[in-house]
Structure 1
Amino acid sequence: MALEGPIGERIRIYRLRRGLSQRELAGLVRRSESWLSQVERGVRSVDKLSVLVDIAKVLRVKVETLSGQPFSLAPNGEPELDGMAAIQTALGAYPGLGVPALRSVQLRDIERMTTEVHLRYQAADYGAATRILPSLITSADGLVAELRGDERRRALELQSSVYVAAAKLVTKVGNGELAWLTADRAATAALHAESPALAAAAAYQVACAFLKNDRLDEAETIAVTTATNLDDDSPTGLSVRGALMLIAAVVAGRRNDRPEATERLQRAQLFADQLGEDGNHGWTAFGPTNVAIHRVSAAAELGDAGEAIAKAEYVDTTSMPQGLLSRRAQVHIDMAWAYCQRRADAEAVVNLLEAERVAPQTLRYNVLVRELLREMLKRERRTATPGLRAIAGRAGVLQA
């Protein structure tokens, strides 16, 4: 007999019937114990159909029994952005290993295009960033293969920045394998350029790639170690160190480690206070407001819905640089998550609509948003959430 209740509660009940601990079930489906704990408590949803299928196999039940809905509302991964195949092709070009490079370009052209792709990403214009990256990757790689001396070092610095932008994009809308590959290349180029600040910025992306692949230990180690070892109090150095502490706080939240998450947010706050402004040095978007946004994210991650909502009310994003639309939208996404945890779906939908207004593409390519929409659709009362189906359709979660 099928059980009633949310998907996390169903998983917990069937897990206990099978005599499995959270650690055992999490290990069998290649997820962390803290992730499963959050799923069972309703803080997080199962974000991929493949994972739900694996859980169902281990628990010896049907997928529909766990989801409570047909496959049309089950998790189905992330939509692939048009142009991702071209990025993969560019990553396999390898100029300098016998593969002809594109026509020669100038360093200033690479610098201009690199700035543009970072700006597009931070404005949540993922489609435009994806169109720029393939030729930019092959051009930067080709230039590094051609140049020597000081010009090569500058080309390496730009190559690292190009791969940082690529890593951000594929971590957001691609897969874990590409996230790891692009972050690793960013780190390699920075090390060859002998730039500690660029290496630290690349380390941030490596930590994000580890996090995307549920490798929390590695993500935590590289973020904390790099932030501790970087001796740079310039605006860029402070920003990168602060950003590393913020991703370390995210990892702690994912582990349900409240004291560690709090301590790391406090360390990030010290860097923000020392910086003294909402900046975007090194494309980090780091500053006091970004720390405040992460405090909201951490509270939502830890399941403290009331605290997340209360903190979000005091976040003022107007002091942030204009182009940081994805950061502005994140506040509303986290508020939607908190309201969804309280089953206040009408308020959650309002916040998702505001996030869509600020940065439309965040809905379609943010895995958390897609999780929230699926959860709300499963318990939908149309009179209470009249905008839910429309926004779910635009996000690609609900097919017409």
Structure 2
Amino acid sequence: MVRSVRRERGLTLEQLGERTGYSASQLSRLERELAPMTVDALRLIADALGIPAETISTAFNAITLGGRGHDGPTGPYPSLPTPTLRRREDGDNVRRRRFLATTAAAVTAAAALPGGQAHADDTQLSELLVSRLRDAMLGLGTPAPCGDGDHLAAELDHAHRDYRTGGYASLAVRLPRLLSTAHAAPSPDHTLLARSYLLTTRLLIKLDEQQLGWMAADRARQLAATSGAAVLVAESSRQLAVLARKAQWHDQALTLTLALTAAEAPELREAGIPGGALRGLLIQSAAYTSAWKGDAAGMRELTTEAAAVAADLGGGTYHLEVGGFSPATVQLHLVSAENSAGDPSRALAAAEAVDPATLPSAERRARLHTDMAHAHHRWGHRDACVTSILAAERCAPQETHARPAVRALVSGLLLSGRTTPDLRGLATRVGASRP
């Protein structure tokens, strides 16, 4: 109806955008039902087009009552994926607990030293980190003596630096302790807790721990809503969209109050540059979901829109707390999206356009190289795949060794063909073996 009336009035999408404050691309998505039409959006567009209220009363009622039906889940979250933690045989459990206890002691002792560098087995860091985060989220962690708000904020800033540099050994000590201590404070800081849980969610997603990821993301959403910080609310929506995508809940990740809905929030538009950067990140997330659905054209259209947002912000790097948003990170995201769309040649072409020096952190540079490794693997370029993983390892060794996705990739290389000294050494460092 909106599209029909707009055309009758002789208005382009750009002209309607001038009257409503929406971009032409946003209006195009609304008209094509690629993004949900909210009551507020419909009212604003109807006023701009002069559509009488009684004409759209049915549409208002449909939106208020939940809109059209969807295939699949209709609740706020999809069914949780199967837990990734498996029960081990008793003897193996005992040995593993002893090993993790030794690793934990080494990591904790090393973190107390200047620089906080640990020398424990990197291949166990992911399990140690997940175990400690789970305990902290369940209230089983030991809080540190409550410092003041400035101390907790400094600890969170340090944890974000650890994340950007791939310092998983330090994170395994600092982040669980921060969660426990922030919860135990006499007057918990909801904003700080929301930021802490958002960082926790990003880590759990990287470590393929979706069950705990949903739990952390939901807490982040509730705390962000309580704090009233529009940027945190939008970022929690982005993380929920990522989890929904990983649970293969693609339609809902695009249409149910997640990525694109959050990007349209008026509060985000009023949040200045941070809000603009988050809006670009949300559009990127929607692009990635389109790629997973097999809609390569839609993915590229949304990526182009995200690039335009980055350019409108002046081309700088913003929002380092969530990994950074800039023209370079949009191009980096395109590498991942082309991989997900099943086109390794386009992924590698996109990677060639990224200067690693322009990426804002070691974590982002490692992401570039691991995405290139996946593209080379799809094409059967074994040597180039290993070279790319080694480059990622040089950027962020602890993260590269801890990530299950890297371990699976290296295991696949061991199984599929000849081995080289580089591959065998890499397999040892990431804890991979022949299946």
The alignment's TM-score, normalised by the length of structure 1, stands at 0.72
Of the three residues 120, 128, 132, the one matched with 1:86 is 132
CA distance in 1, matches of 2:414, 2:140: 45
Say if 1:325 and 1:369 are closer, same or farther in 2 by CA, change over 3 A. Answer: same
- Residues 70-98 of structure 1, C-alpha deviation per residue, up to 9 Å, x if partnerless? xxxxxxxx984314322222112299xxx
Say if 1:381 and 1:307 are closer, same or farther in 2 by CA, change over 3 A. Answer: same
CA distance in 2, matches of 1:395, 1:101: 31
- Residues 214-235 of structure 1, C-alpha deviation per residue, up to 9 Å, x if partnerless? 3333332301110122323622
Say if 1:239 and 1:225 are closer, same or farther in 2 by CA, change over 3 A. Answer: same
Residue 259 of structure 2 corresponds to residue 223 of structure 1: yes
CA distance in 1, matches of 2:428, 2:140: 40
Aligned residue for 1:82, secondary structure, equals: helix
- Checking the alignment, whether the CA contact within 8 Å between 2:393 and 2:401 is kept in structure 1 is no
| Gap runs ≥5 in structure 1 | 1-31, 33-47, 51-77
- Checking the alignment, whether the CA contact within 8 Å between 1:102 and 1:142 is kept in structure 2 is no
Partner of residue 366, structure 1: 403
Of the three residues 257, 265, 268, the one matched with 2:295 is 257
Partner of residue 194, structure 1: 228
CA distance in 2, matches of 1:343, 1:393: 22
Partner of residue 428, structure 2: 393
Of the three residues 328, 343, 355, the one matched with 1:316 is 355
Of the three residues 209, 215, 218, the one matched with 1:181 is 215
Of the three residues 139, 156, 176, the one matched with 2:181 is 139
CA distance in 2, matches of 1:345, 1:209: 30
Say if 1:307 and 1:49 are closer, same or farther in 2 by CA, change over 3 A. Answer: farther
Partner of residue 309, structure 2: 271
Of the three residues 241, 266, 286, the one matched with 1:248 is 286
Partner of residue 122, structure 1: 164
CA distance in 2, matches of 1:81, 1:277: 38
Of the three residues 362, 366, 371, the one matched with 1:334 is 371
The one-letter amino acid of 2:432's match is: V
The one-letter amino acid of 1:307's match is: R
| Gap runs ≥5 in structure 2 | 1-77, 79-83, 87-123
- Checking the alignment, whether the CA contact within 8 Å between 1:330 and 1:355 is kept in structure 2 is yes
Partner of residue 198, structure 2: 164
1:243: Cα distance to partner? 1.1
Aligned residue for 2:264, secondary structure, equals: helix
Partner of residue 25, structure 1: none
CA distance in 2, matches of 1:49, 1:101: 25
Q: How many residues align?
A: 311
Aligned residue for 1:127, secondary structure, equals: helix
Partner of residue 335, structure 2: 296
Aligned residue for 1:387, secondary structure, equals: helix
1:260: Cα distance to partner? 1.6
> How many percent of aligned residue pairs carry the same amino acid?
29
Which of 224-233 and 338-347 deviates more? 224-233
CA distance in 2, matches of 1:130, 1:218: 33
Alignment of 1:21-32 (within 5 A): none
- Residues 216-271 of structure 1, C-alpha deviation per residue, up to 9 Å, x if partnerless? 33332301110122323622111111111112111111111112211211121111
- Residues 173-195 of structure 1, C-alpha deviation per residue, up to 9 Å, x if partnerless? 25111101111111111101111
Say if 1:313 and 1:101 are closer, same or farther in 2 by CA, change over 3 A. Answer: closer
Residue 394 of structure 2 corresponds to residue 354 of structure 1: no
- Residues 123-144 of structure 1, C-alpha deviation per residue, up to 9 Å, x if partnerless? 111221121112211222223x
- Checking the alignment, whether the CA contact within 8 Å between 2:307 and 2:327 is kept in structure 1 is yes
CA RMSD of aligned residues (A): 2.7
Partner of residue 106, structure 1: 148
CA distance in 2, matches of 1:233, 1:159: 20
CA distance in 2, matches of 1:274, 1:223: 20
- Checking the alignment, whether the CA contact within 8 Å between 1:86 and 1:134 is kept in structure 2 is yes
Say if 1:245 and 1:94 are closer, same or farther in 2 by CA, change over 3 A. Answer: farther
- Checking the alignment, whether the CA contact within 8 Å between 1:160 and 1:185 is kept in structure 2 is yes
- Checking the alignment, whether the CA contact within 8 Å between 2:231 and 2:271 is kept in structure 1 is no
1:120: Cα distance to partner? 0.7
- Residues 32-59 of structure 1, C-alpha deviation per residue, up to 9 Å, x if partnerless? 9xxxxxxxxxxxxxxx899xxxxxxxxx
CA distance in 1, matches of 2:248, 2:335: 22
Aligned residue for 2:417, secondary structure, equals: coil
CA distance in 2, matches of 1:333, 1:89: 30
The alignment's TM-score, normalised by the length of structure 2, stands at 0.66
The one-letter amino acid of 2:181's match is: S
1:386: Cα distance to partner? 4.2
- Checking the alignment, whether the CA contact within 8 Å between 2:335 and 2:348 is kept in structure 1 is yes
1:201: Cα distance to partner? 1.4
The one-letter amino acid of 1:306's match is: S
Q: Give the number of the structure whose alpha-carbon radius of gyration is greater.
A: 2
Aligned residue for 2:192, secondary structure, equals: helix
